[in-house]
Amino acid sequence: MRYADIIGQEDALRAVRQMVSDRRIPHALLLTGPEGCGKLPLALALAETLLCQEPEADGEPCGHCRNCRMAAALAHPDLHLTFPIIRRKNSTSTEQVTCDLYVDEWREMVTASPYVAWDTWLNTLGVENQQPIITVAEANAIVSRLSLHASQGGRKVVVVWHAELMNEQAANKLLKTLEEPTPDTHFILTTTKPERLLETIRSRTQRIALRPLSEQQIADALTTRHGLDDNTARRLAHNACGSYTSACSMLGVEEETAEFFDLFVLIMRKCFQSDVKSMYQWADRIASWGRERQKAFLAYCQRLVRENFMANFRLEGLTYMNAREEEFATRFARFVNERNIIGFMTQLDDATREIQQNVNARMVFFDLAMQMALLVRR
Ligand SMILES: [Zn+2]
């Protein structure tokens, strides 16, 4: 992770670079700011600088030494990664669990993009009703690791993601280490809610506050990193409320919607043509997806059918379609009418239930296509 990969945050970057060039890097830093503003990317870039054998004068890690390469892969033995976790299904207590158990999943998620949404981590953990926490077992693991010499002979760095989710025991354990720092050890804590940290921890750390990103910064990043056109980038940036991660998840939803739309249009065309072979191929393609995605597609089809039915009444403000969907509706809406609307909805409901019940997805979607071919002719 290089500083150049961090979006905006000029003030925070200037502060960090100054610390590095003055060689006055605090023993414990607290990076605060709302979700999606770049706390973790900054923490990881700084960690890399601290571990780099020959950082550049402006505080950039060199990017090619052995330490940099290991740090960039989040696999440096002196880079300790701490983040909230849950207990495994067969384990009785979270207290015995350390981050080692989940480090591969976390590493994979963060190396894909260090702009990580909290929800992405919850999905990765498969959390339903549990609140992930930083456990006292993890705090103990940090303390015992810091008592050893750095395996590469340089500094030791601990990055704590979502530090506000340390439970009290864990926080007290860590506090002792913060009060009696071992030489060449650096803590970088990140949090969206600094007020939830123990006051004693806050007072032991030097704080750098990151700000929400501007719409322009998010739009520029979407354009250069995802190749979006200016209009789409500006629209997503406007709705992202300063969070690059939420802009990226909206982008993910848009891409999925576009694919769902294409598949709906395709199957309707094949239905009109009574092209059974293509209908089978269509079902085969959707059958290769995961169950949640199949259900999301069926829900999308229901929405589009409903919107097309409503479009017949030309009620301003009652349709919620994007530009492509609206254009499609000018030709398709007349085929959704009071004779078949209930049938469409029932078929889609049935398909959703069968998918939920693990019925063979290829058969469910092929059957659905055949039924829709009959319905559009009514
Ligand atoms: Zn280096």
Segment 238-267, tens digit of pLDDT: 999 999 999 999 998 888 999 999 999 999
Contacts of 198 (CB under 8 A, 6+ apart): 168, 171, 172, 175
Tell how far the Cα of 51 is from the centroid of ligand 1, in angstroms.
Answer: 7
CB 146 within 8 A of CB 156: yes
281 plus 141 within the same structural domain? no
Is residue 219 exposed (0-12), middle (13-18) or buried (19+ Cβ within 10 Å)?
Answer: buried
How far away, in angstroms, is 71 Cα from ligand 1 center?
A: 9
Last residue of a domain, one of 190, 212, 234: 212
Which of 23, 19, 73 lies closest to 48, judged by CA?
73
Return residues with CB closer than 5 A to ligand 1 (ion). 52, 61-62, 65, 68
Burial grade of 129 (CB within 10 A; 0-12, 13-18, 19 or more): exposed
Query: What are the pLDDT digits (tens) for 287-314?
Result: 999 888 999 999 999 999 999 999 998 7
What's the CA-to-centroid distance between 224 and ligand 1, angstroms? 26
Looking at the fold, whether 220 and 147 belong to one and the same domain comes out as no
Are both 220 and 205 inside the same structural domain?
Answer: no
What pLDDT was estimated at residue 90? 61
Question: Do both 179 and 291 map to the same domain?
Answer: no
353 CA → ligand 1 middle, Å:
55
Domain holding 32, by residue range, is 3-212
Q: Tell me: do 82 and 145 sit in the same domain.
A: yes
Residue 42 CA to ligand 1 centre (angstroms): 16
Q: For 5-36, how does the pLDDT look when each residue is reduced to its tens digit (9 = 90+)?
A: 999 999 999 999 999 888 888 999 999 999 99
Distance 249 CA to ligand 1 centre (A): 32
Domain assignment present for residue 248? The answer is no
Q: Is residue 270 domain-resident?
A: yes
Domain count of the fold of the chain: 3
Residues 168 and 262 in one domain: no
Ligand 1 centre distance from Cα of residue 48 (Å): 7
Distance 195 CA to ligand 1 centre (A): 35
Query: How is residue 152 written in tokens?
Result: 């590469």
Percent of the chain with pLDDT over 70: 97
Q: Are residues 22 and 82 in the same domain?
A: yes
In this structure, is residue 247 part of a structural domain?
no
pTM for this prediction: 0.81
